[in-house]
Homo-oligomer: A and B are copies of this chain.
Amino acid sequence: MQVRAKSDSETPKSPRGRPRDPNLVQQRKEQILKVTTHHFARFGYQDTDLQVIADELEIGKGTIYRYFPNKEALFRAALDRGLASLRDLIDQKIPPGSDPLAGFASAIEAYLRFFREQPELVELFLIERAVFPGRTKPAYFIQREQDSGRWNEVFRHLVRQGRVRPGNTDGVLNAIGDLLYGTMFANHLAGRNESPHEQARDILDLVFHGILGPDAREEFPEAHKDARRKTGKKR
């Protein structure tokens, strides 16, 4: 089996013949990924037939293979495309200079709204793991970990300000992240249709104040003073 030479540095040679427009390549990929996302989400991975996608796009099946080496790469590109749009959203929802707590609240609602509007991406998350089990950490978590540092700083700042109780910052942030992650799945899988706004309000009420009344708060006291197990490693 021969391997195509693939002259990496692309010696431009004589630019005769049909020139390749790199912009067009991006457009084409985008078109393909859009339809692809829809099919994967609707029919699952195995039951998505690239021929059907090609037919819908009115291109040849071989054309898809010109842009993506195989079905899995196509799937991952669709997934990455969705995650990129999530990241864009989060980035723009936390305007620099805004109040951190308000920004936090706003980000939560934006997150919920995003996945309400992009239910197909939720399906891709499921497929990634279900079809390629145990291969790599899911792309969602890779991205989340990349973002975690930023949130961590915000939180530590708020603790210093006294607006957020001290405690196991990492643990709490994970819990909040998991709450949102779980909510995203649950909304989609259980077919809920509560409005993102109200849902965000409920979540924030829980996350900000907890569920206990004043008396019970004394009964089950906060775990703050020595809550540095994870972070502090202190003696």
Footprint of B on A, CB under 8 Å? 1-11, 13-17, 19, 39, 41-49, 51-52, 55-56, 58, 60, 62, 101, 105, 123, 126-127, 129-134, 137-138, 140-141, 144-145, 162-165, 167-168, 171-172, 174-186, 189-192, 194, 198-199, 201-213, 215-217, 219-220, 222-223, 227, 229-230
Q: Is there an interface contact between A130 and B133, defined as CB atoms closer than 8 Å? A: no
28 A–B contacts, CB within 8 A, in A order: A1-B47, A2-B49, A5-B55, A5-B56, A43-B133, A44-B131, A101-B219, A101-B220, A137-B191, A141-B186, A162-B215, A162-B216, A164-B213, A164-B216, A165-B212, A172-B205, A174-B186, A175-B206, A176-B206, A177-B182, A178-B182, A179-B179, A180-B182, A198-B229, A205-B227, A208-B210, A209-B222, A210-B210
How many copies of this kind of chain does the complex include? 4
Q: Is there an interface contact between A163 and B219, defined as CB atoms closer than 8 Å? A: yes
